[in-house]
Homo-oligomer: A and B are copies of this chain.
């Protein structure tokens, strides 16, 4: 499935249910944050080094939550004719200029100041 196909499917889904009235950008931004919190919840008490190892149940839950975040992100972005993948590609180019590898490499202690993605 492509972003364009997902966008179209979501619009049809909302239209058939008359749910477009709830999908203001403000509301979609709130819903997006609620879904992301469900991902955070999966990792909140986990030790960092264990956070790669999920039980099959948690992994299945994570996949669902990632799906929900992708759905709301695409829904929100579509209100402004933004393609999330294209936005990521453009932001990625900015990041490459902002954090030159030779300047920041190995300076892990400065990571917070540099930011990074």
Contact = CB atoms under 8 A, between A and B. Distances in A.
Contacts of A59: 80
B18 A108 contact: yes
**A interface, by DSSP: helix, strand, loop or mixed?**
helix
What class of interface size applies to chain A in its complex with B? Answer: 35 or more
Contacts of A51: 24-26, 29
Number of copies: 4
A104 B46 contact: no
Interface of A: 1-3, 6, 9-10, 13, 16-19, 21-22, 24-27, 29-34, 36-49, 51-52, 54, 59, 62-64, 66-77, 79-80, 82, 84-92, 94-96, 99, 101, 104-106, 108, 111-112, 116-117
